[in-house]
Amino acid sequence: MNAVKLKNFYWSMALASLVIGLILSVQFRMTMDIKDNETIKRTQELADQVAQLKKEQDVLQPQLIRMRGQLESLSTGPLAPQIKAELELATVFSGLSKLTGSGVEVTLKDSDVSQIFTDNPDFYIVHDEDILKVVNELKAAGAEAVAINGQRLVATTGISCSGPAIRINEKALVPPFVITAIGSPETMEGALKMRGGVAEFLQFCGIQVLVKKLEKLTIPAYSGSIKMDYIADTDTDT
């Protein structure tokens, strides 16, 4: 009787092993099918992207050829010298090339006097708004180019406090802050030093201000990246 039970046990184990094997085989086949389907799907997506890029290239290629033709005609036409001069001028004023000329150098330093009027130490250090006051006054006085500690100011330049430093063109700068500007030295110096003007106000706050006229100084080109969020559509074809 024990032999019969043992035989039945072996048959039950064999049957269970067979069932488990079949289940594992089915699961393996399903897994492989899913992977194959994902691969096919991904391949199809990539093929669709390639087809879309090809369509865009077919659309842009004629525009590129037309614009190259327009550029070539402008560069060789009668207005070429004028266009070149205007382009060079735009490059200078956009800050993409260095500029040399006469101007002023304004140095701003933190106060070196004891804190008489207030216990707040921030009252005696140069802030971003102090630099902005000087820069705005210089621009109002006709400055053609401005730099701070060698960082050229352009339309996208931001000036902001960042702890003990001031960030300009994403660079952390510390005092003293040397502001150089190209333009009429007399006009810019007069604008800064006028009675009740920026220099007098900052000195009243304890900031050290030194203004020097220079016969020749060089302001470097802007070295950062320029991000354009919007580009105007200049296509006038009808």
**Phi, psi angles (nearest 5°) of residue 183:** 165, -160
| Predicted local distance difference test score (pLDDT) of residue 193 | 95
Spatial neighbors of 165 by CB under 8 A, at least 6 apart, are: 172, 173, 174
Per-residue pLDDT of 117-170, as tens digits, reads: 555 666 778 999 999 999 999 999 999 999 999 999 988 888 998 877 999 988
Report the range of poorest mean pLDDT among 14-18, 160-164, 209-213: 14-18
Per-residue pLDDT of 193-206, as tens digits, reads: 999 999 999 998 88
Angle between helices 128-140 and 185-193 (to 10 degrees): 130
Strand order in 99-109's β-sheet?
151-152, 145-148, 177-182, 99-109, 208-219
For residue 95, list its beta bridge partners: none
Q: What is the pLDDT of residue 143?
A: 94
**pLDDT interval class at 231 (50, 70, 90):** very low
pLDDT at 238: 38
pLDDT of amino acid 237: 46
- Higher-pLDDT residue of 224 and 221 is 221
Note if the pTM is more than 0.95.
no
Give alpha helix (H) positions in 94-178: 128-140
Identify the pLDDT of residue 235.
Answer: 46
Look at residue 145 in the predicted model and tell me its pLDDT.
Answer: 93
Q: What is the pLDDT of residues 19-42, one digit of tens each?
A: 777 777 777 777 666 666 666 777
At residue 156, the pLDDT reads: 83
92 pLDDT band, cuts 50/70/90, is low
